[in-house]
Amino acid sequence: MRSYGHFCSVARALDVVGDRWTLLIVRELLLQGPCRFTDLKDGLPGVASNLLSERLKELEDSGLVSRDAAQPPVATNLYGLTATGRALEPVIQALGLWGVQFSMEKRTDDAFRGQWLTYPVAWFLQDSRPDEPAMTVQIIADDEPVTLHVGGGHIHTERGTVPDPAVTLRGEPDKVLGFLAGFIDLKKARAAGVEVDGPARLLTRITPKAQHSMLQALTLD
Amino acid sequence: MRSYGHFCSVARALDVVGDRWTLLIVRELLLQGPCRFTDLKDGLPGVASNLLSERLKELEDSGLVSRDAAQPPVATNLYGLTATGRALEPVIQALGLWGVQFSMEKRTDDAFRGQWLTYPVAWFLQDSRPDEPAMTVQIIADDEPVTLHVGGGHIHTERGTVPDPAVTLRGEPDKVLGFLAGFIDLKKARAAGVEVDGPARLLTRITPKAQHSMLQALTLD
DNA sequence: CCGGATCCCCAGGGATACTG
DNA sequence: CAGTATCCCTGGGGATCCGG
C-alpha cells in the first residue's frame, strides 16, 4: 500500500495493514490457526485469489505471516501468524467490539462461516451457572456447524458437529446470535425461524457479560 | 466502500471505517477536537481535498461525524466526532500501540505535526517523580511547538509555545521522541542533533510506563 | 483438486485547477 | 477559506488458465 508518509504510529500501522482484505486475512488466521490457501479463501468469501496471494506475500514480507511447507504426504503450504501478526489481536477485537452495533442490520446476502461465531461468543457471552455440569450446544447456522462447550463459567467454541448435544439450535446466523446474546427471546426466535431441539431452559445459563451493556441496548426486529 | 459482505462484526466495522484515510481522519478529530476543514487538511498531509470532502460526507452519513455551523462571525463548518465516532478510540489506540514497532524506521520524508506527539506521550510516558513541583517542557520538533506539562505523576500535552519552560528540546521528531522514551541517551540525542536548553536532568523524571516493555526493546540507530 | 498466475475491466484514489 | 470539478492512473474484482 502507498505509505501515508506520516510520522505517527497509527499511520505506520495502517501502512502495513491498511490495505483492503489485509485485516480480514489476519482475522481468519487468528480464528483458523495455520491453514492452507484454500482454507483461507473459503474463510474470506468474495476475495479474488490473486488478491489473497498478493496480500499473503506482502504480509510475509512485513513479517506478520509465515509460510511453511506441510508434512511430506500433502504437498501444500501452511500460512500462519508470526508473533508480530498475533499481536494484532487487540486491534481485531477493538474493531469487532465497535462493529457489533452494525452487525444486526439486516443484510440478506451476507456470507457466513462458522468460525465467525467464535469471537462474539468469546467476547460477549458467559456461562452464568458454572456449578452445573458441563454441557455441549450444537449450532447449525446457515448449514455451518459450530459446537459450544459450556461449563465452569466459560464457553469454548469449535467448528463441526458433536454426537449428542444437550441442545441443538438451527436458524439464520443473525437470529441464532441474537437469541444467544439475549436480544430476542425464545418466542421471537422461534417466530424468526430458529428451531430448538432439546430443553430450551438449558440455554438460559448462557448470558451476556455485564461489561458489554452496549449489546443489550441493541434490538433486533 | 464496497461491503465485504460478511456476517462478522470485524468486517462490518471495516465496511464503515476501512476506506483509505478514514481512520486517520478519526485520529485527527480525536486529537484536535471539533475543527475546520482546513485544520483537518493540515493535520492530514497528503490527502486530496476531494477525498477529505468525500470521506467527511460518508462519515456524516454513517453517524460518526457531526457538521455544525460555527458562530456567526466566521462562516465555516466545524467537524466533530459523535459518540459513535469517539467510540473508535480503542481501535486507534490498539493500532497505535501495534504500530510503534514500525515508528522508529528512518523515513526522511515523513511529515510531522505536533499533535501526533500527544498519543505516544500519553500512552507510554509518565512522570516518575510526582512529588516534585510541576514543570513545563517545550518541544520544538520540525518547527512544530508542543508543550508538556509534567507533574503529579502525569504528563499533559498541548500544541503551541509557553513563555518560560523549564527545559526546551529541539530536533527531529523521531530523535526527540526516541530521547523522551529512553531509546537513546542524552549523548546520542545530542549527536543526532537534539538541542537541550535548560537543566537536562529534569527530563529524567519522564520515563516509560512499565507495561509497555515492548518499547524498551526497540533501538534507534 | 490445490495453489496460485494472467488478463481485462472498472471503481476509487491522487493531483491539480477552479469557483462561490 | 471551503470545498467542487476534472482528469489520469493505480489497484481491486472477476473470470479464466496453468503447473503440480
The model's pLDDT over A127-148, given as tens digits with 9 standing for 90+, comes to 999 999 999 999 999 999 999 9
Report the nucleotide nearest the CA of residue A54, measured to C1': C4
Residue type present at position A184: I
Supply φ then ψ for residue A134, to 5 degrees: -60, 150
d(CA B217, CA B107): 20
d(CA A215, CA B40): 32
DSSP B59-81: HHHHTSEEEEE--TTS--EEEEE
Report the nucleotide nearest the CA of residue B49, measured to C1': D3
What's the grid cell of residue A157? 467454541
What's the grid cell of residue A68? 511453511
- Cα-only R_g, chain B: 19
Which of B9, B12, B92 comes nearest A10 by C-beta? B92
Q: What percentage of chain A exceeds 70 in pLDDT?
A: 92
Q: Is the CB of B18 under 7 A from strand D?
A: no
Give the pLDDT confidence of A21-46 residue by residue, as tens digits: 999 999 999 999 999 899 999 999 99
Work out whether strand B144-151 and strand B154-159 pair parallel, antiparallel, or are unpaired: antiparallel
Residue type present at position A143: D
Q: How many CA atoms lie within 13 A of B221 on its CB side?
A: 3
State chain B's mean pLDDT as an integer. 90
Residue type present at position B140: I
CA of B2 to C1' of D9 (A): 20
d(CA A142, CA A171): 7
Give the pLDDT confidence of A158-180 residue by residue, as tens digits: 999 999 999 999 999 999 998 99
Predicted pLDDT of residue B217: 45
3-state helix, strand, coil in chain A (%, to 5): 45, 20, 35
CB atoms under 10 Å from CB of A71, counted, come to 8
Query: What mean pLDDT comes out for the span B42-67?
Result: 93
Phi-psi region of A7 (alpha: psi -120 to 50; beta: other; left: phi over 0): beta
List all nucleotides in chain D with at least one atom under 7 A from a protein Cβ. Answer: 1-6, 10-16, 20
- Kindly indicate the confidence band of residue A212, based on its pLDDT and cuts at 50, 70 and 90: low
Residue ranges with strand state E in B77-178: 77-81, 125-127, 135-141, 144-151, 154-159, 167-171
- With vertex at residue A105, the alpha carbon angle to CA A103 and CA A110, rounded to the nearest 5 degrees, is 75
Predicted pLDDT of residue A211: 63
Of the candidates A83, A142, A133, the one whose C-alpha atom is nearest the C-alpha of residue A110 is: A142
Report the nucleotide nearest the CA of residue A41, measured to C1': C3
CA B52 to chain centre: 19
List all nucleotides in chain C with at least one atom under 7 A from a protein Cβ. Answer: 1-7, 11-17
Of the candidates B183, B192, B193, the one whose C-alpha atom is nearest the C-alpha of residue B220 is: B183
First to last CA, chain B: 40
Query: What mean pLDDT comes out for the span A102-121?
Result: 87
Task: Detail the protein residues whose CB sits closer than 7 A to any atom belonging to strand C.
Answer: A 2, 36-39, 48-50, 53, 76-77; B 1-2, 19-21, 46-51, 54
Residue B98 has pLDDT above 90, yes or no: yes
Could you identify the residue written with the cell 451493556? Answer: A213
Q: Which residue of A has its CA nearest to B96?
A: A10
CA of A20 to C1' of C8 (A): 21
Q: What is the pTM of this model?
A: 0.92
Sign of CA dihedral B69, B73, B74, B79: negative
Q: Which residue of B has its CA nearest to A101?
A: B9
Answer yes or no: do B102 and A12 touch at CB < 8 A.
yes
What's the grid cell of residue A88? 494484532
User: Where is average pLDDT lowest: A69-78, A202-211, B106-115, B184-193?
Assistant: A69-78
Residue A213 has pLDDT above 60, yes or no: no
d(CA B40, CA A80): 39
Measured between beta carbons, which residues in chain A are less than 8 angstroms from residue B99? 9-14, 16
